[in-house]
Structure 1
Amino acid sequence: MRILIIGGGIAGSAAALALHKAGFEAAVYEAHPKNGEDLGAFLTLASNGMRSLGQLGAAEAVAGLGFPLTGLRLLDATGATLADTPLGGRDDPLTRFRCLRRADLAAALQQEVRRRGIPINHGARLSSLTEDAAGVTATFADGRTASGNLLIGADGLNSKVRSLISPAEPRYAGQKVFYGYTTEAPQAEDSEQITMIRGSATAFGAACSPTGQTYWFARVTSPRATADEIATMTSSQWRDHLLPLVEPDNTPAAAIIAATSDQLMVTNAVDLPLGLRWHTLRTLIIGDAAHAASPATGQGASMAMEDAVVLAKALRDAPSMSGALADYERVRRPRVEDNIAASAALSAGRPPARDGADSRPVALSDDELARQLEWRTPLPTR
Structure 2
Amino acid sequence: MRRVLIIGGGVAGCATALALHRAGFAPVVFEGHPDSGEDIGAFLTLAANGMAALRELDAAIAVGRAGFPLHTLEFAGGVRELAGHRCLRRAELCRVLQAEVARRGIPLHHGKRLASAAEDADGITARFTDSGIARGDVLIGADGLNSRVRALVSPGAKPRYAGQQVFYGYSRPRRPPCEPGRIVMVRGEAAFGFAVSPGGETYWFARVSTVESPEPSWRESLLALLDKDCAAIVAATRGPVLGTNARDLAQIPRWRTDRMLLIGDAAHAASPATGQGASMALEDAVVLAKAMRDTANPLEVYEQLRRPRVEYNTEASGRMSARLPPMDVPPPVSEEELAGQLDWSRRVELTAAE
Q: In the alignment, what sits opposite 1:241?
A: 221
Letter in 2 for 1:242: L
Q: 1:97 to 1:185 in 2, by over 3 A?
A: farther
Equivalent-residue separation in structure 2 for 1:18 and 1:28 (angstroms): 13
Q: After the TM superposition, which of the residue ranges 183-192 and 340-349 deviates more from structure 2?
A: 183-192
How far off its partner does 1:39 sit?
4.9
- Structure 1 equivalent of residue 302 of structure 2: 328
1:269 to 246, 254, 264: 246
Q: CA deviation at 1:275?
A: 3.5
Q: Which secondary structure does the structure 2 equivalent of 1:64 belong to?
A: helix
The letter for the 1-side match of 2:182 is Q
Query: How many Å apart are 1:223 and its aligned residue?
Result: 0.7
Residue in structure 2 matched with residue 358 of structure 1 by the alignment: none
For 1:63 and 1:105, how far apart are their aligned partners in 2? 9
What do the CA deviations read for 1:314-362 (whole angstroms, capped 9, x no partner)?
Answer: 000112xxx111110000000000010000000000242379xxxxx93
The one-letter amino acid of 2:208's match is V
* TM-score normalized by the length of structure 1: 0.88
Q: Which residue of 340, 345, 351 maps to 1:376?
A: 345
State the partner residue of 1:123: 111
2:182 paired with 1:193: yes
| Cα drift, residue 128 of structure 1 | 0.4
| 1:3–1:148 CA contact under 8 A, matched in 2 | yes
Matched, 1:343 2:317: yes
Letter in 1 for 2:30: Y
2:253 is aligned with 1:253: no
Aligned to 1:33: 34
Q: Which of 251, 255, 263 pairs up with 1:278?
A: 255
Q: Give the deviation of 1:380 after TM superposition.
A: 4.7
* Cα distance between partner residues in 2 of 1:261 and 1:240: 16
**What are the within-5 Å matches in structure 2 for residues 193-212 of structure 1?**
193-199=182-188, 201-212=189-200
Q: Which amino acid aligns with 2:177?
A: A
Give the Cα–Cα distance (whole angstroms) in 1 for the partners of residues 328 and 225 of structure 2.
27
CA drift of 1:29 comes to 0.6
8 Å Cα contact 1:31/1:125 also seen in 2 = yes
- Show CA shifts across 1:109-168 (max 9, x none): 000000000000111110000002211000000111001100000001100100111121
Matched-pair contact (CA < 8 Å) for 2:295–2:348: no
Matched with 1:84 is 79
Q: TM-score, normalised by structure 2?
A: 0.95
Q: Count how many residue pairs are aligned between Structure 1 and Structure 2.
A: 349
Write the distance in 2 (CA, Å) between the matches of 1:262 and 1:150. 42
Is the counterpart of residue 114 in structure 1 residue 105 in structure 2? no
Structure 1 residue 191 displacement after superposition: 0.8
Conservation of the 8 A alpha-carbon contact between 1:137 and 1:146 = yes
Q: Does 1:364 align with 2:333?
A: yes
Is contact 2:176–2:196 with CA below 8 Å preserved after alignment?
Answer: yes
Q: 1:180 aligns with which of 169, 177, 192?
A: 169
Which residue identity lines up with residue 197 of structure 1 in the other structure? V
Task: Find out whether 1:311 has 2:281 as its counterpart.
Answer: no
Give the unaligned 5+ runs of structure 2.
Answer: none
Question: Which sits farther off after the overlay, 258-267 or 58-67?
Answer: 258-267
Aligned counterparts of 2:95 and 2:4: Cα–Cα separation in 1: 21
- Indicate conservation of the 8 Å contact 1:185/1:214, yes or no: no
Q: Report the identity percentage.
A: 57
What is the deviation of 1:98?
0.8
Query: What residue identity is the alignment partner of 2:237?
Result: T
> Hey, what's the Cα distance between the residues in 1 that align with 2:175 and 2:42?
21
Q: Is the counterpart of residue 6 in structure 1 residue 1 in structure 2?
A: no
Contact map agreement 2:40 2:89 (CA 8 A) in 1? no
Deviations 1:190-229 (A, max 9, x none): 2111001111x11111001111100011101001121xx3
Contact 1:276/1:290 (<8 A) preserved: no
> Distance in 2 between the 1:153 and 1:216 partners?
31
Conserved 8 A contact 2:185-2:191: yes
- Look up the equivalent residue of 1:371 and give its one-letter code: G
2:140 corresponds to which residue? 152
2-structure distance, mates of 1:380, 1:254: 52
Question: What is the aligned-residue RMSD (CA, Å)?
Answer: 1.6
Paired residue type of 2:199: T
Aligned in 2, Cα 1:195/1:351: closer, same or farther, shift over 3 Å? farther
1:132 pairs with one of 120, 126, 139: 120
Deviations 1:274-315 (A, max 9, x none): 133100000001000000000000000000000000000000
What is the deviation of 1:108? 0.3
CA distance in 2, matches of 1:86, 1:253: 23
CA contact (8 A) 1:7 1:154 kept: yes
Distance 2:328 2:70 in 1: 21
Does the Cα contact within 8 Å between 1:182 and 1:263 map onto a contact in 2? no
CA distance in structure 1 between the partners assigned to 2:27 and 2:288 by the alignment: 13
1:293–1:340 contact (8 Å) kept in structure 2:
yes
